Amino acid sequence: MIEIKDVSYSYEGVVALQNVSLVIEQGESVVLIGANGSGKSTLLKLLNGIIFPSHGSYRYDGEEITETTMKNASFSKRFHQRIGFVFQNSDTQLFTTSVFDEIAFGPRQMGYVESIVESRVRDCLELLDIQKLKDRSPCHLSGGEKRKVAIACVLSLNPEVLVLDEPMNGLDPKTQRWLADFALQLNRAGKTVISSTHNLELTQEIAKRVILFDEAHCIAADLPTEELLSDVELLKRCNLVDDTYHRHMGTGHHHFHMHRV
């Protein structure tokens, strides 16, 4: 479904991705991990057609995604219907005067008749259990409520792929738990889920595959979750953990601890 080949990208001469290649198949749940500035968010923006490779190519379902192809209104509309992006900062994504209109915005842009729009909004409100927020202004919601509304906005288009950039940032533990479970449910329902995070415990819960970026903005490893998270020396080399890091092994689960003095 997704093929990245020899992709590099720079912001005003500063390298953000360096010779990155990967393939993500339909129905996978993949997590990107790495230190701050290693390239995770840049790759997610590229996957969503917000930026384009300085070098190399990106294909989605066999079609190359370029600045030229995305200028084609019909192609761009179809692409953004198939792959949905939830930004790290929900305030970036929310801009209308009510939650209902936020969720309705995408389907309306796609040209659906209002009865279909209203049906999709109702379904998303119910799916995320935010019916009571329907008439509220997004700017007056809590961080967790904003994140749920942002996800509902993306799901209103029923995308094949859901991309989540640092989805746990700023959320309380209860909302983090809800979001992890929700991502699992979506993946089990057939959605491809791609996330970035620093949370190693979350990583082992929601992903079968982990892609690790190093501080040279390259892919340092692309492995099954358990195998990668067991390689403590690799995690240290990529500046994700320090010498005090260890894993507590329990029956059927692992807890990750990064102790600080």
Q: Say what the pLDDT of residue 17 is.
A: 96
Q: Say what the pLDDT of residue 92 is.
A: 80
Half-sphere CA count of 109, side-chain side, radius 13 A: 17
Q: Say what the pLDDT of residue 246 is.
A: 61
First to last CA, the chain: 45
Q: Say what the pLDDT of residue 247 is.
A: 56
Mean pLDDT computed over every residue of the chain? 89
Per-residue tokens: 201? 């415990």
| Listed residue (74, 88, 1) closest to 40, CA to CA | 88
Q: Say what the pLDDT of residue 58 is.
A: 97
Q: What is the pTM of this model?
A: 0.89
In angstroms, the CA 71 to CA 258 distance is 45
Q: What is the largest CA-CA distance in the chain?
A: 59
Q: Say what the pLDDT of residue 96 is.
A: 85
pLDDT tens for residues 11-70? 988 999 999 999 999 999 999 999 988 999 999 999 999 999 999 999 999 999 999 999
Q: Say what the pLDDT of residue 258 is.
A: 45
Q: Say what the pLDDT of residue 261 is.
A: 35
Residues of the chain predicted below pLDDT 50: 248-261
Q: Is 260 exposed, middle or buried (0-12, 13-18, 19+ CB in 10 A)?
A: exposed
Q: Say what the pLDDT of residue 90 is.
A: 83
